[in-house]
Chains A and B, each alone.
Chain A
Amino acid sequence: MATLAFLFYYVTPYIAVAVFFGGLAYRVYRWWQKRPAPAHFSLFPRPQSRLGRLIDALVDMFTLKGLLRVNPLLWVGGFIMHLGLLFVLVGHVRAFTDFYFLWKLLNWGKEQQHTFSAVAGTIAGTLFTIPLFYLLARRWSGAVKWLSVPEDFFVLFLLIGIALTGFHMRLFRTVEVEELHRFFAGLASFRWQPVPESAGPAFIWHFALVQLLMVYFPFGKLSHIIGSVLSKMVARS
């Protein structure tokens, strides 16, 4: 068990990062090997100018306005989940460095920094997690059950697992950010440092599941992070 934990702390993180970026690059390369679209497959109405179409695709990508119009409930599930995820990821900047500039600007001390992170982090985590359960329940409902394959459940359970272990650290432990900084700086500089004890037992689970996600990410449906903007441009070509 100790060996396994050691692997997940100090060895597999490198593999996960390499597979994540390498995999995404490989995915895009495989797409580019295929023949390009043989005609304009536009959906109308669409903006006239090229720039207008690019902006429209990006706005649609970041707001899902098209989905909001036809299926508001699914929009809540899809959009709020992604929004929460974005907030959560921004918050995780504190695991590697810190918002020194912001703290200075607001003239906040340690105590205030921590209170703010606790409140904002909990809200962001909730925005991320509750829609995940809705999306999971939806997999068994109505016509969506015909569309559900093991991959869909795998991704949802993985994300829920990551969210719950994250909540454990957020709500039941007081994580010392300096410990995290030291640990990740050690990984990045190949001068390995002790694991952050203050994060508690959930840390290794959280860390390992995220690595699993990163390894899986480029090879499944989550590659829509890149593909969706491409397909949106095809629909506005």
Chain B
Amino acid sequence: MLAKFLDTVRQRITRPLQYYQDICVRCGACVDACHFYAVSGNPAHIPAYRMMLVKKLLQQGGNGRKGLLGWYRETGIASERMVSELRQALWECTGCRRCSVFCPFDLDTALLVNMGRYALGQEGMGMEMVAEIGNAEVSKGEIIDALKEFYVDQIRELEGRIREEWGVPDLRIPVDEPARVLYVPVVGEHAIIPLAKIFHAAKESWSLSMFTATNHSFFVGDIEKAKQAAHWIVQEARRLGAQVIAYAECGHATRTLLNFWDHWFGDEIAGIQRVSVVQLVASYLQEGRIRVREGAFDVPMTYHDPCNLGRNAGIFEEPRMLIRAVATDFRELSPNRELNWCCGGGGGMIAEPDMFEVRMKAGQPKAEQIKRTGARWVVTTCENCKTQLADLSERYGLGVEVKGAVDLIADALVV
């Protein structure tokens, strides 16, 4: 039982994962951190328990033998329950790392969960849909030349529509052209339209990437594939001579871009600045390259810090700066910033239809938080959060509209 899982875990245990397991004192500070545990009361959702489960399996050796000190390590978990608990512990986690903020040792449960997911996948207990999308992102690079013509056609059509609706006949959406900024969107025109307007207003030299920022292999812990998928973007940026790679409002992709790419690509990306598009637009505003109508929106609005942009990548102030530039009634969630509750839809769950009920339940603390502010608009900067928050609004009758920070700026541009 779980032999492949354990083999994979043994191979993939890195230095921090080893001492995380060894030093966790099970103090229970993380109990209050997890939104899954807050709504379910299921011990498998306690961050320290997730770690205990994997540790216990490793010590038992997977063959049921307990060894010399088995009686002493016994945690009282029935082993038939263990597989289902393991599945819950590793898949019903958004990897938001709120528990790491609560932990007195800053232990990173999400790191273990990420690795454990890959190992569960080897055992045939993975999230198939998410893994498949991840594979598609990897293989997309091999057929990109065949896709290009179709993609450019679609973009031209979109370009025409924006020109007409916005009344700016010289607006362009360059694709595969040498440029200073390579903008990498997420799937859907909503990620392209506002930026096309902002780049036009800022007179930026930019090009739209033919790839998407999203990296589903990362969600299932397959770091090799995650690297391959991201490498297409590195190659594109180098081919176009880009000095800046700007990622769309997308949480996990922004985190990998800012925190992992140094390790993944080393010298290959030397000299290429990597930013979230939120940071880029904030810099335009600061430098006076774009102007917006101050107080353009008097709707009460709040900002949801996506875990991956906030505590995992350190982008706290730029989105608030964008919102304050155009809003008259901005209300903070409580708690916010690095202590913000996760929306409950991260970690790839959005892409897995089976997980819908799980994430609706996990989003309850978020829904209550939003309700308390009385805001009508919820602004956020992560595609995953946007989908989840819209679903939560419907489920819990919040009646809020979900917007991106760059959407606000695009709608209030003075051209």
Contacts and interface: CB of A to CB of B under 8 A. Distances in A.
Interface in A16-72: 27, 30-32, 34-46, 60, 64, 66-67, 70-71
A144 B25 CA distance: 11
Interface string B8-30: 00000111111110111111110
A39 B101 contact: no
B23 A228 contact: yes
Contacts of A36: 14-15
Contacts of A149: 26, 52, 73-75
A92 interface: no
B166 interface: no
B20 A231 contact: yes
7 contacts: A44-B314, A71-B32, A146-B46, A147-B26, A221-B24, A227-B23, A235-B100
Interface string B239-282: 00000000000000000000110111000000000000000000
Contacts of A230: 16, 19
Q: What 6 A-B pairs come out closest when comparing CB atoms? A: A44-B314, A227-B23, A235-B106, A224-B23, A146-B43, A144-B28
- Counting chain B residues whose Cβ lies within 8 A of the other chain, the interface size class is 35 or more
B19 A232 contact: no
Contacts of A44: 310-314, 316, 338
Nearest to A30: B18
A74 interface: yes
B396 interface: no
B107 interface: yes
Given A38-B14, A43-B338, A151-B72, A71 B22 contact: no
B74 to A, nearest CB: 7
Nearest to A32: B15
Given A46-B314, A228-B23, A138 B108 contact: no
A78 interface: yes
Interface string B144-159: 0000000000000000
A60 B221 CA distance: 30
Nearest to B73: A149
Nearest to A41: B108
Given A30-B18, A78-B27, A71 B102 contact: yes
Interface in A120-172: 138, 142-144, 146-152, 154
Interface string B83-101: 0000000000000010011
A234 interface: yes
A223 interface: yes
Contacts of A34: 13-15, 17-18
B191 interface: no
Contact of A150 (B31, B74, B108): B74
Interface in A66-93: 66-67, 70-71, 74, 78
Given A34-B18, A44-B313, A146-B49, A152 B26 contact: yes
Contacts of B49: 146-147
B25 A38 contact: no
B23 A223 contact: yes
Contacts of B25: 152, 221, 224
The secondary-structure label for the interface of chain B is helix
Contacts, number: 154
Interface of B: 13-20, 22-29, 31-33, 37, 43, 46, 48-49, 52, 71-75, 97, 100-108, 111, 223, 259-260, 262-264, 310-314, 316, 337-339
Interface of A: 27, 30-32, 34-46, 60, 64, 66-67, 70-71, 74, 78, 138, 142-144, 146-152, 154, 221, 223-224, 227-228, 230-232, 234-235
A231 B26 contact: no
A67 to B, nearest CB: 4
B16 A39 contact: no
Given A146-B43, A150-B73, A221-B22, A67 B260 contact: no
Given A41-B259, A43-B101, A70-B339, A231 B23 contact: yes
Given A43-B101, A60-B106, 8 more contacts: A31-B19, A37-B14, A45-B316, A70-B33, A147-B52, A223-B22, A231-B106, A234-B108
B64 to A, nearest CB: 19
A232 B310 contact: no
B19 A74 contact: no
A53 to B, nearest CB: 12
A148 B311 CA distance: 29
A157 B52 CA distance: 21
B92 to A, nearest CB: 16
Nearest to A148: B26
Contacts of B310: 44
Contacts of B15: 31-32, 34-37
Contacts of A46: 314
B29 A71 contact: yes
A218 to B, nearest CB: 10
Contact of A231 (B16, B73, B312, B314): B16
Nearest to B24: A221
A78 B24 CA distance: 14
B72 A144 contact: no
Contacts of B100: 43, 235
